[in-house]
Each structure stands twice: as C-alpha cells, then as structure tokens.
Structure 1
Amino acid sequence: MSLVYLNGEYMAPEEAKISPMDRGFLFGDGIYEVIPAYYGKMLGFDAHVARIQEGLAAIEINLDYTGEQWRAICDTLISNNPGPNQGIYLHVSRGTDSKRNHAYPRGIAPTVFAFCFELPGEPTADAHSATTYTVSLEQDRRWQRCNIKSTALLGNVIHYQSGAREGNKETILFNAKDEITEASSSNVFIVKDGVIATPVLDNQILPGITRWLICEIVRSHSELVIEERVVTKAELLSADEVWITSATKEVGPVVKVADTVIGEGKPGKIWQQVQTLFTTHKFDY
C-alpha cells in the first residue's frame, strides 16, 4: 500500500489534506527537494538535506527537522511504496495562516509533505539504448533567485511547456548577455575539444546535487578536464556534446538544441565515460 507523509503522520494519499489558506497553496511560499533512491539506497542524501536547510534559511522558514528525521521519513516512504527505483519528493511550505497577507506571518507551523514516485530505472551509459534529449532554447525570464529551490515554479513550468509544445523534452535558457544559465528543470554541461564546462553557480542557477556530484567525480579522474565558467549561447550551439543533468536524468545526452544538431546527433564519447563513472561512483560522495 502506498503511503505519503504529512505533518508527522503517514497515510494513504487520498487522506492527505491541507487548508486552502496554506501559504504554499496561496503564494508558492515554500521549498522542495527530490532525492532519487535505487534499491533503497538514496543518492546524495546529505547534500539534498543541506540544500533543504539552506533553502529554508533563505526564505526564513523555521523548521527543526534534523537530518536523522528526514532520513527516517524517506526510509519509511521507500519501504511502503512499490518499485525498486523511486524518487522521494520533500515539500515544506510556510504553513497555514488565518488570512492572506504578503508579509511573513509569525507563530504558524510549517506544512511538511512527502511522497514517493516511481523512477523508470537507472540511466545507462550505453549510447545505443540511452535516453537522449532534444531541447528548445529561450531567453530566461524567471525570477532572480533561482538558486533557491522554491515551490513557486510557474516560470520554469512555462519554459518547460514551451519546449514540450515544440516536441522537445526540455528548454535550455540564456540570459540577456547570451550566457547559458540552466534548463527549466536541469543543469547544463557542454563539451568542446575534450574539455567539459558548466555555468558557474550564481543567483541565476540552482546548485544541482547531480551537477555537484558530476563535478566531484570528474575532478577525481585526472584524464578529464572540467571548468566552471561562463558558457555562451554560441558555445552551446557549437559544442561537441551537450548534457542536461538532474536527480532523475543523471547525465542526459542532448542530441539537438532548437534547430542545431549537436555533434553527430548521438551521445558522445565523453558523455559515455562520465555516465559510466557516475554510475560507478555516485554513492561514494
């Protein structure tokens, strides 16, 4: 039987209810996290929890859950939901107030909600059977605090839907200076002449846990070179390889950006090497 978690209790999904006065419902006032788990083993758990705490602090939500409490919630959900590969969604809103007011209210308890969803399986490093991505390319029109993993995702949803309308699986974004920021639900990497590059972290970019894991793993292998720096739209379109990365995609090879075919239109050799290393070492960090 599937279970969800809501404010200290486990229950069937249809029993989970929140007030329409919850600020998460009214304002998107909260943060969230997604942690992948393969055969019961969570990927990057400590880093995900640290990002939850950073997000809560950034928007001044006081929640005293410890890492051990988050782990217990995740483990309970994993064990009570079917499927060997699962994503655990964690959601914290500011809570329910008696009135709708833009200012942060005092003295209300945060709403904490969590559930599992089935993942299709671990991504493969086989170029012939890997899931590949065609993506759209648009100017980034979201808010200026994208480093916070906010539940207010309408800007991301609009960009993602724009790509979906064009038959694509993602939309890569660039700022007013034609610098790549990220994709609507992923981070971005490029490869040119054997060198891997990803945009440097700032307020325009969510510090992805998968992005961090890839950087750590690549840096531990001296035969690979990685740079965190400004990546331009022109560099993206002329790259030998492009990847989009997230908790559910891992290292997703992009074969086409807008009307531009990337490389040979299939997963590249550096992608295959990095996805293989990621699969081997991802639980070591």
Structure 2
Amino acid sequence: MSRVWLNGHLVEAHQARIDPGDRGFLLGDGAFETMRFEAGRIRRWPAHRSRLSAALDILQIAQPDWLAIEDASRALADANALTAAILRLTITRGPHGRGMDAVHGEAGTVLMTALARPDPPVSIRLEPVSAPRRDPASQATRFKPIGYGDELHARRLARSAGADMALLHDGEGHPSCADCANVMWIAGNDLVAPGPEAGALSGTTRAALLERLSQAGLTLVPSAQLALERAEAVLVCNAVQGVVAVRAIGSHSYPVDHWAVTRLREIEAELD
C-alpha cells in the first residue's frame, strides 16, 4: 500500500495523518466496508454504499460525498497500479466529542485503502468456537462496526486449532457465521443461510446469491428445517473471496466439488 485516499485527497500512506483524538481510533466509533474492485469499478457498489449509509444514519455521522468516493476508488487503484484490488472504506466520527459523549452530524474521517486482491482459496477448514457468541440484537447484524475484537479473537482460536476461519454461534449455540464471511449449507436442493436472526451480518454477497437461488435450482429453508449436521456441502461467501467451499468443520469433512457450491460460485462470478 503506497497511496491512500484520506478526506478527499490522495496521499502517500506514510504521510497520511489521522487526528489522535479520532473516535474511530479511540472508541471504534464508526463503520466500514470491504469491497472488491475489478474492471474499473467496485463490485456491488450500490449494496455497499447503502449499508454504510444506513450505518452512518444510525451512528449519526454525516454522510460523505458518495460520488467523490466512487471516483476516488478508480483514482486510488490507478495510483497503486492495481487492476484487481481489495478496497476498504472506513468512516469514523473523527475527533468530534469526548469520552462517551459524541457530537452528532459532523463530517467525520473518510479513509479508503487499496491492496492487491489475492486469489481466493479453493477450499477452507472451519473450526467451531464456543465463544464469542453472536447476538441477533447487536448492531453488527446491520453493518460492519470498526471494533472487530470478537472476530479477531475467534480467528486466533481457529488458527491455533490449525483451521482457516472460525465458525461462530449465536447465544443458543446455533451456527451463525464465519469470522469474516457468511456461511451456507446444502442438502439436496435445500439451502440454509443464517442471517441477522442468528446474529450474522447479511453480507452483500450472501444477499446477491439469495436473490438468484432459483438459477442454482436451490430453495432457501430455515436452519430449524435443515441442521448443519445433515449438510451435504458447506460454503462461505464474502465480497473479497466470493464463494469458497468448506472442506471440513472440525473433524467432519465435506466435498469441495459439490454441484451446488460449484453453481453458486459460477453465479457469484457473473454478478456485478
């Protein structure tokens, strides 16, 4: 990462300065989106923008210039000589407020960074973790808050067990999501995709796939109808990696070439 876009300007990363009193840094007071940039555009930009805009309304942070951000995504990719990139757009309240009392409605800090997008893995292993638990009432089911302590802790637990990602559960012990992706499982033509009701964020890729399930010959069913223990195949999906097969959860193995996973991967690749 050599250049970043900060508050309307392209600057060298080592010269970028964020106020030491920025509440995003001090308190996690803000939200972010991680997006895939390809072919000169942000994939599923309207969905990312809509979710982040709604988050700012909830947090009472002023809306940024969205057109300027869209233009900046191309300038930032060009400045870093990237044709396929991972963009992270972070918006905080800035230094407006003190302690628990924030000043609402002010323009915050807007930072966008770009990194080269690596090839996604062919498959991953998930490790179930007993804690932390996902809460359906949390704001984290509606947008991506900056504070990612629970997810980072879950990932550390998974890596210590030799896995790639953690599988998190809700307060009742039902599967919710991976630490940085939505999880889905399939049996026959039925598919389960835990969402906010299970404490999971409804990711942009998850939402796009659910709109096109009929193209894959699949039907969405609740987890109460199809438990994970009965799954024939499992996948994770997010904006950066797309659709990735799960080859194992703990010691239980799954096929990585299941027809439904392959079809959903093809559909995701065709989406804007």
TM-score, with structure 2 as normaliser: 0.90
Cα deviation digits, residues 5-30 of structure 1 (max 9, x gap): 11111111101011221101110111
Tell me the distance in 2 between the aligned counterparts of 1:201 and 1:153: 17
Q: Does 1:239 align with 2:237?
A: no
The letter of the residue matching 2:78 is S
In structure 2, do the counterparts of structure 1 residues 260 and 75 end up closer, same or farther at CA, with 3 Å as the change threshold? same
Q: Which has the higher strand share?
A: 2
Cα deviation digits, residues 109-139 of structure 1 (max 9, x gap): 3011111011024x5xxxxxx6210011123
Give the equivalent residue in structure 2 for 1:47.
Answer: 47
Cα deviation digits, residues 183-207 of structure 1 (max 9, x gap): 1110010001232221143471212
Give the equivalent residue in structure 2 for 1:126.
Answer: none
* Alpha-carbon distance, 1:75 to partner: 1.5
Tell me the distance in 1 between the aligned counterparts of 2:12 and 2:39: 22
Q: Does 1:84 align with 2:78?
A: no
The letter of the residue matching 2:219 is I
1:237–1:257 Cα contact (<8 Å) kept: no
Q: Runs of at least 4 residues of structure 1 off by over 6 A?
A: none
* Alpha-carbon distance, 1:107 to partner: 6.8
1:96-111 residue pairs with structure 2 within 5 A?
96-97=95-96, 100-106=98-104, 108-111=106-109
In structure 2, do the counterparts of structure 1 residues 239 and 152 end up closer, same or farther at CA, with 3 Å as the change threshold? same
Give the equivalent residue in structure 2 for 1:138.
Answer: 129
* Alpha-carbon distance, 1:225 to partner: 1.7
* Alpha-carbon distance, 1:108 to partner: 4.7
Q: Does 1:61 align with 2:53?
A: no
* Alpha-carbon distance, 1:268 to partner: 1.3
CA RMSD of aligned residues (A): 2.1
In structure 2, do the counterparts of structure 1 residues 2 and 226 end up closer, same or farther at CA, with 3 Å as the change threshold? farther
Cα deviation digits, residues 58-89 of structure 1 (max 9, x gap): 222122423x2221121211221223210111
* Alpha-carbon distance, 1:180 to partner: 1.7
Q: Give aligned-pair identity as a percent.
A: 21
TM-score, with structure 1 as normaliser: 0.87
In structure 2, do the counterparts of structure 1 residues 204 and 142 end up closer, same or farther at CA, with 3 Å as the change threshold? closer
The letter of the residue matching 1:275 is R
Tell me the distance in 1 between the aligned counterparts of 2:224 and 2:234: 12
**SS in structure 2 opposite 1:146?**
helix
Give the equivalent residue in structure 2 for 1:282.
Answer: 271
Tell me the distance in 2 between the aligned counterparts of 1:231 and 1:86: 38
The letter of the residue matching 1:31 is A
**SS in structure 1 opposite 2:101?**
coil
Tell me the distance in 2 between the aligned counterparts of 1:228 and 1:73: 40
Tell me the distance in 2 between the aligned counterparts of 1:235 and 1:247: 25
Tell me the distance in 1 between the aligned counterparts of 2:148 and 2:74: 27
1:36–1:247 Cα contact (<8 Å) kept: yes
* Alpha-carbon distance, 1:106 to partner: 4.4
